[in-house]
Amino acid sequence: MLRIENLHVGYGEAAAISDVSITLGKGELVCIIGPNSAGKTTLVNAIARLLPVRAGKIIIDGQEATRLTPQQLCDLGVAIIPEGRRLFTSMSVEENLDIGCYHAKARANRMQSLARIYDMFPVLSERRRQIAGTLSGGQQQMVAIARALMAQPKLLLIDEPSLGLAPVIIKQVFETISAIHTQGVSILLIEQNATKALAISQRAYVLDCGAMIAEGTPAELRDRSEINAAYFGHGH
Amino acid sequence: MISATLLGQSLLSGIFSGCFYAMLGLGMTLSWRYLKVINLAHFAFVLIAAYLTYQLVGKSGLHPLVVAVLLIPLFFALGIAQQALIDYYKVNEFASVIVTFGMAIITEAALQWFWSADYLKLESHYLRGSTQIGTLFLPIGEAVMALIAVVMCAAVWAALRYTWLGKALRAGLDNPQIAASFGVPNRQLSYLVAGVSGATAAIGGIFVALLFTLAPSQIFAWLGVVFAAALLGGLGSPIGVLAAGLLLGVSEALTMAVIAPAWAPVVPFTLLMVILLIWPERV
């Protein structure tokens, strides 16, 4: 579904991401964990085509996507739940969802998608007319998830979904991501909260200082003491 | 004490002025908000359309509706061409004031070259005369203009609020990158706004030719008050510019009737300043 080969991304002289390679199979949920400022968001923004790539390749569903515009990426069935949610804050909840299905293919199924999403998040149905910027953080995250689902993505990029949310909401968000994965969507999850992310992922990569330092199944990573110590804070 | 008839008549003329300001301000408020272009050349477009109407209706004898059918697409295209230039040279919001002011000055010179600096009046029988309602006179031309201005503002409002393109435009304003990620074509939409703005200038120009005396310097005649209407109405708001236009038009007309005509130009900017002072988040 997604293959990244020797990707380099950088601002100016400094390389924010160097020589990163990732694979994500169809229907897989893969997470990228790592400390703050490890380059996780840079990586996901490069995949989402919001940042230019310096070198390397991004291949999505067998198609070269390295130089596409965000709009062309949308044609390939990729949707993003960005860090900090980045809703259309002056628009209503339902208008945010409408933009989610702006693409012609998704728009054709608007009614079914809306019904499914309001079923999944009843609170969004109650607040469909409310301006998105006035919702609570947790509800805004639901809108961000729902907006991406309206696009009926094949590949979903999720960046730091737990950021700034209360623990009870975080639990709910991860359950939702897991449920979306069960419905067959391939997911690349970027998350600082390694414990939570590994609990729902099939495979994981560890990113630090812009480089990939480890990969494996959650169990394998937990068994590696140096990673355990550095990223889970569980000691040895 | 002034009579009820005079008061009513000046109220009516204030409403007509207000609708006219809204007609000119609609394109301006849209491009200011959605394109980040403070487009003073909008008034140049209006006057070019007015002179073309003068020529085509007055000299070539075409019906104003035929002229509208010709000018609206032409000015839609001109609006896009102007935006393409502004895009190409990456003109920012503040520089756009200078650049489009320059365009307006060049247009003024060009109009003088072709039509001289003399006052010209389109002599035609279209939209002439008036009907009487009670003691008030209702001029047909102004009434038609006002009606079209209201319809234009309402149509743009509805398009922004309810259509896919309108929603996409607002989303692009909130967050262009994420909107693009969901397939919103920001660039094409910006050209659509520029085109619509140009088309409104054509309609405004046709009414300028039918209702006013033309001179190239008229480019700058309505700039101040329309600027004020766009700001007061809240940038990008078609209903806002209509409401603000009416407020300014009516208060100008009442000032003329109750105090003295010479005081009327003071009104829009005094209102603008007062409202900005007590309600700064309006803009």
On whether any CB of chain B is under 8 Å from the CB of A110, the answer is: no
Measured CA angle at A53 (ends A52, A55), to 5 deg: 155
Tell me: pLDDT of B152 over 90.
Answer: yes
* Whole-angstrom distance, CA of residue B45 vs CA of residue B103: 10
Confidence of residue A219 (pLDDT cuts 50, 70, 90): confident
Per residue in B17-69, pLDDT (tens digit) is: 999 999 999 999 999 999 999 999 999 999 999 999 999 999 999 999 999 99
Strands A55-60 and A186-191: unpaired
Q: Which residues contact B270 (CB under 8 A, 6 or more apart)?
A: none
Return the pLDDT at A235.
39
* Whole-angstrom distance, CA of residue B128 vs CA of residue B196: 28
Look at A131-140, B117-126, B261-270 and tell me which has the smallest mean pLDDT: B261-270
A71 vs B contacts (CB less than 8 Å): 180-181, 183-185
* Whole-angstrom distance, CA of residue B47 vs CA of residue B67: 14
Per residue in A155-183, pLDDT (tens digit) is: 999 999 999 899 999 999 999 999 999 99
Average pLDDT over every residue of A46-71: 93
Tell me: pLDDT of A69 over 90.
Answer: yes
Chain B: nearest CA to A236, how far in angstroms?
42
* Whole-angstrom distance, CA of residue B29 vs CA of residue B230: 5
Domain boundaries, chain B: 16-220
Q: Do A74 and B183 touch (CB under 8 A)?
A: yes
Q: Do A82 and B178 touch (CB under 8 A)?
A: yes
Chain A: nearest CA to B169, how far in angstroms?
10
* Whole-angstrom distance, CA of residue A231 vs CA of residue A209: 13
Return the pLDDT at A234.
47
Average pLDDT over every residue of B176-204: 97
Per residue in B58-109, pLDDT (tens digit) is: 999 999 999 999 999 999 999 999 999 999 999 999 999 999 999 999 999 9
Name the 3-class secondary structure at B157. helix
A13, A63 contact by CB (below 8 A): no
* Whole-angstrom distance, CA of residue A213 vs CA of residue A231: 12
* Whole-angstrom distance, CA of residue B107 vs CA of residue B91: 19
Structure tokens at B153: 């503002």
Closest CA to B137 of B145, B149, B129: B129
- Prediction ipTM score: 0.92
Nearest residue on chain A to B185, alpha-carbon basis: A71
Nearest residue on chain A to B173, alpha-carbon basis: A88
Average pLDDT over every residue of A132-141: 94
Strands A211-216 and A203-208: antiparallel
Percent of chain A with pLDDT over 90: 77
Closest CA to A136 of A165, A104, A101, A108: A165
When CB atoms are compared, the residue of A73, A90, A147 closest to B174 is A90
Confidence of residue A229 (pLDDT cuts 50, 70, 90): low
CB B128: neighbour CB atoms within 10 A? 11
B26, B198 contact by CB (below 8 A): no
Return the pLDDT at A236.
38
Return the pLDDT at A225.
67
* Whole-angstrom distance, CA of residue A7 vs CA of residue A19: 5
